[in-house]
Amino acid sequence: MTEGLRPMNLGGILDRGVQVFRARFAVFFGLAAITGIAELMYKLASINPAPTPSGSANNGPPSESYGAAVVSWLALAGLGAIVRAASCYAASRVILGEAVSIRKSFGRFTSKIWLLVWLTILQGFYAGWPYLVATFVSVIAASPGSAFRGVVLLLGLIPCAIFFAWYALAFPTIAIEGQAPQRAIDRSLSLGRGGRRRVFCGVAVAYAPPLMLTYGIPVLVNTMLIGNAWQTANPFLVSGIEGVAGLIATLVFTPYAHIVLTLLYYDQRIRKEGFDVEQMMQAAGLDENAALPDVGA
């Protein structure tokens, strides 16, 4: 896929994201399947068929398996970080008209797993601290189950979404430029200046569908079946429904979100650093750092 780099509005970025996804569908689908299938297997393997005292299904692991569950969760977090970086890298290759494969993209980051996990932790802390504050305030100021506590927690998510957009470009940065995690965070802040609204809207539109499927379907299923004997008797089927919804989100919508994120990264580089001009000069065999001739000699 070769198309000249240029500044784009949000609609153009979202449309280009679809084109990039379709151009190398097998690559992005294959990368997403690595985490999607692993997460589904983990969810099904962690079911405790013993009912809770209230009679509902217990979807948590048995108490003696919590240590293994933590280790498995950390492994999934590392695997997810690698796939996220690999998807951004694969998107960048497609955008620049270069060859890419699942093996090349995934293998590029297997040795950098701890850097990617650390970046994930940094992003989570920098974007999520308002929610921690809101949680503390709600616990101190309201009784469990009160409407006020729910309102405070909901309000705490608003700055989290804004801050996430500030730091969202860190993963394309570490995947494409090879920056260290903290440098990637700083680079994301720098690149985003002057285009934060566009980056926020792009991130919101791209990430809304997978978040709604991943977290909305389980809430809907449990709300409909809470206290239902069918739920108690079929814990694997209930978790299977939730897991399939998450798998669909991971296979279809999450790769698209990573592609849009990479397009936003390049769009900001084009607007702030003239990256499109740099690419044209390289394609023409020119060196933008070459000294100009001394015409006064």
Question: What is the tens place of the pLDDT at every residue in 104-131?
Answer: 999 999 999 999 999 999 999 999 999 8
Question: In the prediction, which pLDDT does 239 show?
Answer: 67
| 147: Cβ contacts below 8 Å, ≥ 6 apart | none
Question: In the prediction, which pLDDT does 2 show?
Answer: 52
What would the mean pLDDT of 151-180 be, rounded to a whole number?
91
Structure token digits, residue 128: 């999520």
pLDDT tops 50 at residue 136 = yes
Q: How far is it, in rounded angstroms, from Cα 31 to Cα 8?
A: 27
Tens digit of each residue's pLDDT (9 = 90 or more) over 172-183: 999 999 999 999
Q: How far is it, in rounded angstroms, from Cα 179 to Cα 173?
A: 7
On whether residue 294 sits in a domain, the answer given is: no
On whether residue 53 sits in a domain, the answer given is: yes
Q: How far is it, in rounded angstroms, from Cα 203 to Cα 208?
A: 8
Question: In the prediction, which pLDDT does 36 show?
Answer: 84
Tens digit of each residue's pLDDT (9 = 90 or more) over 248-273: 878 888 999 999 999 999 999 999 98
Query: What domain range includes position 275?
Result: 10-282
On whether residue 245 sits in a domain, the answer given is: yes
On whether residue 259 sits in a domain, the answer given is: yes
On whether residue 287 sits in a domain, the answer given is: no
On whether residue 291 sits in a domain, the answer given is: no
On whether residue 73 sits in a domain, the answer given is: yes
Q: Regarding predicted confidence, which is higher, 135 or 213?
A: 135
pLDDT tops 60 at residue 70 = yes
pLDDT tops 50 at residue 55 = no
On whether residue 295 sits in a domain, the answer given is: no
Number of domains the chain is built from: 1
Q: Spell out the long-range contacts of 21-25 with Cβ–Cβ below 8 A and sequence spacing 24 or more.
A: 21/255, 21/256, 21/259, 23/94, 24/90, 24/94, 24/100
Q: What is the pTM of this model?
A: 0.81
| 116: Cβ contacts below 8 Å, ≥ 6 apart | 78, 81, 82, 84, 85, 109, 174, 181
Question: In the prediction, which pLDDT does 43 show?
Answer: 72
Backbone angles phi, psi at 97, to 5 degrees: 75, 30
Q: 210: closest CA among 264, 244, 257?
A: 257
Q: How far is it, in rounded angstroms, from Cα 253 to Cα 213?
A: 9
- Tell me the C-alpha to C-alpha distance, in Å, between residue 184 and each of 47, 155, 193, 195: 37, 28, 14, 17
